[in-house]
Amino acid sequence: MIDKNILLVGFTKRTSFAVAKILGKNNKIFISDSVSNEEKLSLIKELESYGINLTNLLGNQSKEILNEYKIDLIIVSPGVPLNIPLLISAKQKNIEVIGDIELFYRFFPSNIYIGITGTDGKTTTTTLVYELLKTEQKTLLGGNIGLPVFELFNEIKNDDKIVLELSSFQLEAIKNFKPHIGLFLNLAEDHLDRYSSMEEYLNAKKRIFMNQTEEDFAIVNLDSPYYEKIIKGVKSKILTFSITNENATIYYKDNTIFYEKKPFIDRDEIFIKGIHNVENSMAAILAAKLMGVSEANIKNVLKNFKGVEHRLEFVRNINGVDYYNDSKSTTVNSLEKALLSFDRPIILIAGGRDKGLDFTKIKELAHKKLKTLVLIGEAKDKIKKELDFKESFYASDLEEAVKISKQKSSPGDIILLSPGCASFDMFKNYEERGKVYKEIVNKL
């Protein structure tokens, strides 16, 4: 790609910055974002210090950009909806709009990609697949997991395997991208502030299989209520995992995971907690098996893999009370999985920015599992009303929430941060929310 006018729409360190660093060597880069702030300006300064040829259009997302600068190609950040006027106008003018995953694939189409999507469990499963594969093969990790795919640009070799976590937003902006193995872990209510329906959300995620052929593989959750819709029209070979159905390729029964009807590993041998992590492990085992990883290496990794930061992460025990950080829980579904992971009384810290989700779905479970509910953030009134839990308290911030939780706890209890909401009302992202929580707990 040489001498093109490339417009980056949506400017973040996580995606467009890495793209600009690579493409800016041979092309003219235009950076557009609806926001201009110190963080974005400092990123632009950093790019300029590398000698990148760029035009700063921060604060400008008007469609006039297209004519004024004769744009040849648009790379859109996952956070930017594809229906903003600028992008609609680009399509009308036949200017191609793609994301960084698609662009990376065009540079390296012959590598083997393993793509993982789903509402919950993506990061844990992606990391686990990566850990399994790298025991025997040169493997790279990137995508929605926090490492922009373009950070891999200078280190990739021809036979490297690439494991990518893929959000629905990233999948919306692919055209040719084809993972040899695509994993669709689950589907539950999420991002209904961006999608008009569950159908639209499902179709965005299902694009992971869009370009696969019968030489490729689709790994799908047989227990999903959307299973039939997910596999409809899929051309690749379908493999399934299940915690209820023995017809799946890999299934869980009587505390044991069975692969092709034979006992493979006991649940107690898997280090990470929770039935949802049994599902994540089964999906990862299938991917590893397809890639030829030995049974011994698979078992060894499962016994030692301690999970990922901010996902049901054990923080510490204070006076017989265990503190867990599940800040990555940004949906009702992930909150439900967290509650199901413990058999002891739970003091739950929940709340944040509402994504239009329905908390009444876990009302019965909450009444069964919770000892106390401590609510924070913009969604606290909604959650209090929908869960209708008697022992509920409001906190003005996370520090006060931990203080109340500690006061209400007794030895044997679990204090669990599992917000079920986005973090953007109080924090930069869920990682910052989790780090702040751990800092507060570690100071107690």
**Radius of gyration, CA atoms only, the chain:** 22
Taking the C-alpha atoms of residue 380 and residue 391, their distance in angstroms, rounded to an integer, is 14
Taking the C-alpha atoms of residue 393 and residue 237, their distance in angstroms, rounded to an integer, is 50
To the nearest 10°, the Cα dihedral for 246, 251, 257, 258? 50
Beta bridge partners of 142: 164
Q: Are 389 and 370 in contact (CB under 8 A)?
A: yes
DSSP per-residue string spanning 290-325: HTT--HHHHHHHHHH----TTSSEEEEEETTEEEEE
- Residues 108-134 have pLDDT tens digits of 999 999 999 999 889 999 999 999 999
Q: Output the tens digit of pLDDT for each of the chain's 444 residues.
A: 789 999 999 998 888 999 999 999 999 999 999 999 999 999 999 999 999 999 999 999 999 999 999 999 999 999 899 999 999 999 999 999 999 999 999 999 999 999 999 998 899 999 999 999 999 999 999 999 878 999 999 999 999 999 999 999 999 999 999 999 999 999 987 776 777 788 999 999 999 999 999 999 999 999 999 999 999 999 999 999 999 999 999 999 999 999 999 999 999 999 988 888 999 999 999 999 999 999 999 999 999 998 889 988 999 999 999 999 999 999 998 999 899 989 999 999 999 999 888 999 999 999 999 999 999 999 999 999 999 999 999 999 999 999 999 999 999 999 999 999 999 999 999 999 999 999 999 999
Q: How many CB atoms lie within 10 A of CB 155?
A: 9
- Residues 384-399 have pLDDT tens digits of 999 999 999 999 999 9
CB burial class (10 A; 0-12, 13-18, 19+) of residue 431? Answer: middle
Q: Are 230 and 184 in contact (CB under 8 A)?
A: yes
Q: Angle of helix 100-107 relative to helix 16-23, nearest 10 degrees?
A: 30
Taking the C-alpha atoms of residue 123 and residue 233, their distance in angstroms, rounded to an integer, is 27
| Domains along the sequence of the chain with CATH | 5-98 (3.40.50.720), 101-304 (3.40.1190.10), 313-443 (3.90.190.20)
Taking the C-alpha atoms of residue 335 and residue 348, their distance in angstroms, rounded to an integer, is 10
Predicted local confidence at residue 190, as pLDDT? 72
Q: Are 372 and 402 in contact (CB under 8 A)?
A: no
- Residues 321-376 have pLDDT tens digits of 999 999 999 999 899 989 998 999 999 999 999 988 899 999 999 999 999 999 99
